[in-house]
Structure 1
Amino acid sequence: MSLRDLLNEVLALQPSFTTDAEDPSMVRRRELVSKEIPGWIAAELASSFPKWQTEGSGGRGTPALIPWSRYCDHDRSPKAGIGWYAVYLFSATGDAAYLSLNQGTSPFDPIRQRIIPLPDGVVTARADWARSALTVDGSAPASFDTIDLRTTSGLGHAYELGNIHGIRYSAGSIPSDDQLRQDFNRIGQLLDRLYQIDDDTAFIPGDVAPEIVDAEVAAVESAGNPRRAAGQGSGLSQAEKTALEDHSVKLAIEYFKSKNYTVKNTGKKKSYDLLASLGSEKIYVEVKGTISLGEEVILTYNEVEHHLKEHPNNALVVVHSIKLDRKQSPPVASGGIVVVHQPWQIDVTMLRPISYRYVTPSA
């Protein structure tokens, strides 16, 4: 069967949507999106993107309002909830199908051991980043088109926000397979280029900061669950950590010296990084450097206890958006935006435990 006929058949079934998995229309829809359309895609991938894979779903157990069939590099997007991919999506009313360059919006949280949907603002920021990156690269289409799945909530809403560029196929006027094949390859080429750009980008909006990844993986592994820690993203090498730390401390020192403080680097011996003195005033300074936007940082138990005790004679310096050149050996950190919180009152309600020490009951 042609792809045009397959897409039209799914659209014709959409107005009959029901959550009854045994309903004949839902059984047929599931076959179309999970087997027949991926079968067509697989044949095309063999010649165009031989290392990529395809899959589809009409919902796990209970039918989903918006079914899909996607293709991607499985190593970069092993599940539909993460990574960049291309996907056929079908509107809730059956008026249109879309081929969308899209993204995962529901990553797995290794600490809470469950899927945590990304906030709408983060998904939108990631889509904006992808469009900007493809535009700068010269790979962008003449215009980026949105998708309308005729729903305002749930996964349909997430797909709409996550869309980078979509090609609309109206029910009853879907083009020939030759045109569909051209579109398939065009979106595939955009996806392939996005993968390459991603590889060359240290941090993308919505990514978990690498130091957070390191801390979470270490916590899960120390609890005796190394399998749960596997595949949770990229952390930092020791050389990269050193480069970020040295650079951020240097900028923090420059900041306090510009305010006429005498500054002593105490990071190797104390539970704070700098001691800034001005006359009889002493400020205990914590410094955090990151390639991320600095929305979260890792604090040790001793750091929290010390700064709770020393407030208001303390400060937090976050140097975010640092550029990290990993191609040099050792890595080189540069740039960054310095944000100073002085005095620094730790809001204990914002402290999120990563792991616990537990004294087991006596036998």
Structure 2
Amino acid sequence: MKDLLGKVCDLQPRWTSKNDEYMQARGVIIRQELPDVLRGHASALAHALGTTPGNLGIEGRDGTGLKTEIPWFRVFGQEESPSATLGWYVVYLFSASGKHVYLTLNQGTTIWTGSDFKARRPEDLRARASWALPLLADGISTRQDLLTAIQLDARTALGRGYGPGNVVAIAYDRDDLPESDVLLADLLFMTGLLEALYRHERLAPYIPGDPAPEVLEAEQSAATTAGRRTSASARRVRSGQGFLLTAAERKAIELHSVRMAKEYFESQGWSVKDVGSKESFDLLLSRGEERCRAEVKGTTSTGTDVILTRAEVEKQRDYYPDNALVVVHSIRLDRTEVAPTTSGGVLHCTSPWAVAEEDLTVISYAYRTPVGPPSSPAPVASPTVADQRRPAETAVAFTY
């Protein structure tokens, strides 16, 4: 393994996006030879990851078509990280200069748009890494050589994106690469950290830097309603870019946030009636001659985005200025028991609440097509430009 790492380092200064003889040689090592070496230790790696050999993933990539500046090969759980754009994994990254190899606990740093890879926001990646780091404190404390920052000397945006995604890393100098037994021991150590991170992720109600669960659910629901085909990884509950809530978890969060909102308004002297089951808002408030209609949103996220239906938007605009938006964010969700429980949360109230158009992001539309029920036969004619009427579009869901 030591010799193969050294060969890739020596080829790095010859990087070009074209698949010339040097990049072909690099690709064979990255995609075939190095993964084959790791597969020879599959049993030990699966044990360190706390999974079965069947769920253990090992792969290397150096670009599809155009060659990438920073090649990599990784170890991962196939269920937890079905592609390199999703979830956490242990990955070897080679600096552009070839002077260093980093063994890093990292994450998906790009999003596949369908045509190319789009970089995730560095601040989101750093937020996720900052969430993960203290959870691994016990394991990390046993070593003094771990880095929280890596320098890949990358010129491309894709190459620079790996840095913010790093949680911890071990750096190897090209001129002082360890022997293969040390490299394997380091890899098993890092894979053990990955196993611990997977355990924490399964119980996490929200990871900073991810989309709010409610937003992710609305987006996936919109895709399903629109009949868009989605990959198996996109349908997973935990996708490395946020996770969905179960019905029981959603209900627990809803009841918790409404309870906090009722207590808040009652402390302000309002009489509060829960009307969420029959109205387009949640709480009807009365105080003397005053009336106010409050919409309540609860989330385990930081509350920067919430989901509104079209009816909620239209009704709240009618109710203004006798209305309110209550967001209870950062709710702690405990999913370790059979029934989920909630606690904590930060309440933020906006009243009066003016729903500004620039604060709304459309998630999906209802589209009235020219197709309708059959009617009396009409003469068939070739359509002209004048005949093409634009069907009406109606927004049905928003993030706010």
Q: Which runs of 5+ in 1 are unaligned?
A: none
Tell me, what secondary structure is at the counterpart of 1:172?
Answer: helix
Tell me the equivalent position of 1:244.
253
Residue 325, structure 1, aligned to residue 334, structure 2: yes
Q: Which of 132, 155, 158 is matched with 2:161 structurally? A: 158
Matches within 5 A, 1:162-177: 162-177=165-180
The one-letter code sitting in structure 1 at the alignment partner of 2:214 is E
Matches within 5 A, 1:1-363: 3-21=1-19, 23-49=20-46, 50=53, 51-107=55-111, 116-135=118-137, 138-141=138-141, 142-143=143-144, 144-145=146-147, 146-151=149-154, 153-225=156-228, 227-228=230-231, 230-231=235-236, 233=238, 234-362=243-371
Judged with a 3 Å threshold, the aligned counterparts in structure 2 of structure 1 residues 204 and 359 are, in CA distance, closer, same or farther, namely same
Q: C-alpha offsets along residues 15-35 of structure 1, whole Å, 9 cap, x if unaligned?
A: 1111112x1001111111111
328-337 or 352-361: which moved more? 328-337
Q: CA deviation at 1:103?
A: 0.8
Q: Contact (CA 8 Å) 2:203, 2:336: kept in 1 or not?
A: no
Judged with a 3 Å threshold, the aligned counterparts in structure 2 of structure 1 residues 91 and 362 are, in CA distance, closer, same or farther, namely same
Q: Contact (CA 8 Å) 2:281, 2:293: kept in 1 or not?
A: yes
What root-mean-square deviation, in Å, do the aligned CA atoms of Structure 1 and Structure 2 show?
2.0
Distance 1:99 1:301 in 2: 48
Distance 1:354 1:278 in 2: 36
Q: C-alpha offsets along residues 236-288 of structure 1, whole Å, 9 cap, x if unaligned?
A: 22222221111100100111111111212111111111122222222211100
The one-letter code sitting in structure 2 at the alignment partner of 1:123 is L
Q: Contact (CA 8 Å) 1:289, 1:319: kept in 2 or not?
A: yes
| Greater C-alpha radius of gyration | 2
Tell me, what secondary structure is at the counterpart of 2:361?
Answer: coil
Q: CA deviation at 1:106?
A: 2.3
Q: How many residues align?
A: 356
Judged with a 3 Å threshold, the aligned counterparts in structure 2 of structure 1 residues 80 and 120 are, in CA distance, closer, same or farther, namely same
Q: Contact (CA 8 Å) 2:2, 2:177: kept in 1 or not?
A: yes
TM-score relative to the length of structure 1: 0.92
342-351 or 263-272: which moved more? 342-351
Q: CA deviation at 1:201?
A: 1.8
Q: CA deviation at 1:329?
A: 4.3
Q: C-alpha offsets along residues 64-104 of structure 1, whole Å, 9 cap, x if unaligned?
A: 11110111111111111110100110001111111111111
Tell me, what secondary structure is at the counterpart of 1:191?
Answer: helix
Q: Contact (CA 8 Å) 2:61, 2:72: kept in 1 or not?
A: yes
TM-score relative to the length of structure 2: 0.84
Q: Which runs of 5+ in 2 are unaligned?
A: 47-52, 373-400
Q: CA deviation at 1:119?
A: 1.3
294-303 or 153-162: which moved more? 153-162
